[in-house]
Amino acid sequence: MEANQTRKIYKAGDIIMRQGDQGDAAYIIEKGQVEILIEKANGLVQRMGTRGPGTIIGEMAIVDSEPRIATIKAVEDCSLLEITKSDFHRRLKTADPVMQLITQVILTRYRDMLTRVAILKESATYPTPEDLERSYLEQLNTVETVTMANDFRAAIGTDQLTLHYQPIMNLATGQVDGFEALMRWNHPEKGPISPAVFIPVAEDTGLIVEASRWALREACRALRRIEGRVGFDRDLFMSVNFSSSDFAEENFLDQIYTILSETDVAPHKIHLEITERLLMNQPQNAKETLGMCRKAGLGISIDDFGTGYSSLSYLHYYPIDTLKIDQSFIRNMLQDDTSMELVKSIIGLGTNMNMKIIAEGVEHAEEAAFLKTMGCHMAQGYHFSRPHAEKEITDKLIEWSQAKKTA
Ligand code: C2E
Ligand code: CA
Ligand code: CA
């Protein structure tokens, strides 16, 4: 498994890195203690200190291509998570240009500072660099996040990662119009992990780009199979979630095209689901990319609509065809006037602008009935169906269409 390649195990006494050697990776200590040794010009070896769980060693190798400045030896049996230079630079490349610049400058200064500290020896009254570093890492939960990111990287393309499909119902006809594809991760040791947990990690590490590509391909294939089995004479659409990092990819549209032609799915049957937040964070980039996607015939849906605190006027600016009203408003609308007003105005506004409206998180029949009278076009939620694996959802569709015929 790839996750094992990035976790290195050392026995007590093993040399992890050697002064003067060329290195290409840093390590996060997951378990065990190591000691840092520097050989002086006169041949004497000086012990510079120890490092334990939650700290980083060998980080200079990912900053520049100077040889290792110290030897690091395992004092106990150790388990280390590897961050290679290429991985680090790939992550850095996905950060915005200001972050890239600042990170580079800080790293260069850090090397300079470490060199001085090594010469001057630290004063006892200041927290040691190790203490400072550990408190940052603890705040960031880094070990856990890196472990999850490594495991997720290994999961992409294996049967650990699957898609579930939730039907999106047409409120006027009572029939299924399409689906939303939702990612599921069944971790070999930890069991199912919620997308609310692993998607942010995948986004922060840039792994989401590969995962989204996989999801789009899999969703297209599933759509072909589902349509083949249910044999409807109308088109069904498939809505796939995308993140900011996907949009930051230069060849985003080319990759979508490749997948559509490979799977032989018409562009109008695929809806790209993006959040309002993405539009607000990178307005110009999003406008251009979405414009091209729209020209290519793809559908564009705005997810979690209403939660972004943006002005509604920005809608004119983007080529959007569908608004998905966030579930928090639907959940509260029958008890809370403000939510109800908001739902009404989104439906009114969107309809005026020739957009389709989908209500998310519909759990009760009364909500569905209300949305229908308000002119909402589509709805999705537990009231109709939870997200299910492809086979279950296909069976359900067949069952529903037979029930409709005999009704
Ligand atoms: P989302 O895109 O807003 O997806 C809708 C979430 O609401 C799903 O949660 C779905 O299972 C849940 N849901 C559907 N109907 C109901 C309902 O009636 N009541 C309630 N309480 N919940 C309902 P899920 O699958 O846990 O996904 C959570 C979030 O993770 C998604 O929110 C989305 O932001 C993200 N996500 C999931 N799959 C992907 C993916 O393939 N790519 C990306 N980028 N994000 C994904
Ligand atoms: Ca969504
Ligand atoms: Ca949503």
Q: Backbone phi, then psi, for 162, in 5-degree steps?
A: -135, 175
The reply to whether 110 and 198 lie within a common domain is no
Ligand 1 atom nearest 304 alpha carbon = 3
What CATH number does residue 301 fall under? 3.20.20.450
**pLDDT score, position 75:** 95
Domain co-membership, 106 together with 58: yes
Q: Sort 79 into a burial class: Cβ within 10 Å, 0-12 / 13-18 / 19+.
A: middle
Residue with the two structure tokens 């390649």: 5
Query: Tokens representing 145?
Result: 């996040």
Q: Looking at the structure, tell me whether residues 81 and 32 fall in a common domain.
A: yes
The pLDDT value recorded for residue 125 is 47
Query: Which residue in 329, 286, 287 sits closest to 307, CA to CA?
Result: 329
CB-ligand 1 contact for 306 (6 Å cutoff): no
- At 303, the amino acid letter reads D
Higher-pLDDT residue of 391 and 102 is 391
pLDDT at 114: 64
Residues 182 and 134 in one domain: no
**How many separate domains does the chain show?**
2
Query: Which of 156, 241, 329, 371 best tests ligand 1's pocket when mutated (most atoms within 8 Å of CB)?
Result: 241
Domain limits for position 300: 158-406
**Residue 128, domain CATH:** 2.60.120.10
pLDDT range class, residue 272, cuts 50, 70, 90: very high
- Looking at residue 388, what is its pLDDT? 98
Q: Which of 40-49, 169-178, 183-192 shows the lowest per-residue confidence on average (mean pLDDT)?
A: 40-49
197-239 pLDDT, tens digit each: 999 889 888 899 999 999 999 999 999 999 999 998 899 999 9
Segment 324-377, tens digit of pLDDT: 999 999 999 999 998 999 999 999 989 999 999 999 999 999 999 999 999 999
Q: Which is nearest to 247 in space by CA: 284, 220, 298?
A: 284
Among 162, 166, 182, the mutation site with the greatest number of ligand 1 atoms within 8 A of its Cβ is 182
Task: Please indicate whether residue 210, judged by its CB atom, sits closer than 6 Å to ligand 1.
Answer: no
Type of residue numbered 220: C
Residues 355 and 284 in one domain: yes
**What is the maximum span of the chain, computed from C-alpha positions, in angstroms?**
93
pLDDT at 242 over 50: yes
Q: Are residues 309 and 402 in the same domain?
A: yes
- Angle among Cα 279, 299, 324 to the nearest 5 degrees reads 60
Regarding whether 265 and 134 lie in a shared domain, the answer is no
Of 240, 267, 247, nearest to 182 (Cα)? Answer: 240
pTM of the model: 0.73
Q: Are residues 381 and 247 in the same domain?
A: yes
The string of DSSP codes covering 326-345 is: -HHHHHHTTT-HHHHHHHHH
Element (H, E) at 375: none
Ligand 1 atom 41 nearest Cα: 183
Question: Is the Cβ–Cβ distance between 28 and 146 less than 8 Å?
Answer: yes
Determine the distance separating the centroid of ligand 3 and the alpha carbon of 327, expressed in angstroms.
7
- Coil, helix or strand at residue 19: coil
Q: Examine residue 151 and state whether it is found in any structural domain, yes or no.
A: no
- Confidence class of residue 134 from pLDDT cuts 50, 70 and 90? low
Look up residue 343 and give its amino acid.
V
Tens-place pLDDT, residues 67-122: 888 899 999 999 999 998 888 888 877 777 677 777 767 776 776 666 666 555 44
What stretch of H or E contains 20? none
- Which of 105, 140, 175 lies at the terminal end of a domain, its last residue? 140
